[in-house]
Amino acid sequence: MNAAVRLPGRFSRHALLIATAAAVPLTGWAAHALTLHKRLAATCKDPLTGLLRRDAYTAHARRLLTRHGDKMTVLMVDADHFKQINDSLGHAAGDAVLAAFGARLTAWAGPRAAVGRLGGDEFAVVLGLAPARRAQRLEQLVRMLHTPVVLDDGRTVDVAASVGAAAPDVLGTRDLTALQRAADAALYAGKHSGRAVVATAARATTPSINGRRVGRPGTAVWGRAA
């Protein structure tokens, strides 16, 4: 039995040619749309770590806070002694450390979180974190970020990170700027301590520039107080 599909007789060869010609531009537009989508995704993501760039992260983070509010937690993360790694082992090693941090933050936070690289060795995360599990999960993250990084040439780099967290249910606000400011202040309160620090309500009043603690490296050139 011939399994080939036969077209009804009323479809002439001329009609089939017209239909095929009409389909070609649609296929071309689909390919063009896919290319544009890939280019847009590339502009939203940091090429080294694969994390969201600042603007894309901020937009996603604000959506999460608006929709889920008190269920969310905001984290600020700094790689410790990063300049020393760059100076002693080279920038390729530094890049490998940043890429490893990006992968670890992504794995820890999960696919629904907003995970961004704000610049240099500074990262931010907004994710759902139940208050009852917050301390345990933050301890887990600190352990992950203190695990040595193995370079492509087999060398091992000892790494560490400082972590500050802020939660809407503690601070009484869903404003991303206020939460990042408080998390940033908590980070510096526990800098190099080997533990994550959760911000108290008092840290919400820390002076800031564009949502970052005044005096933090780089804030002087950002210009406008948050």
Task: Tell me which residue of 148, 149, 100, 144 sits closest to 121, measured CA to CA.
Answer: 100
Report which residue type is found at 192.
H
User: Is the four-CA dihedral 47, 48, 49, 52 of positive or negative sign?
Assistant: negative
End-to-end CA distance of the chain: 76
Distance CA 173, CA 74 (A): 12
Distance CA 226, CA 219 (A): 11
Cα 30 to its chain centre, rounded Å, is: 29
Q: Which is catalytic among the residues 46, 78, 121, 184?
A: 121
- Is 158 known to be catalytic? no
Tokens of 160: 């560490």
Distance CA 172, CA 153 (A): 48
From residue 204, alpha-carbon distances to 60, 90, 208, 226 in Å are 22, 38, 10, 12
**Catalytic positions:** 121
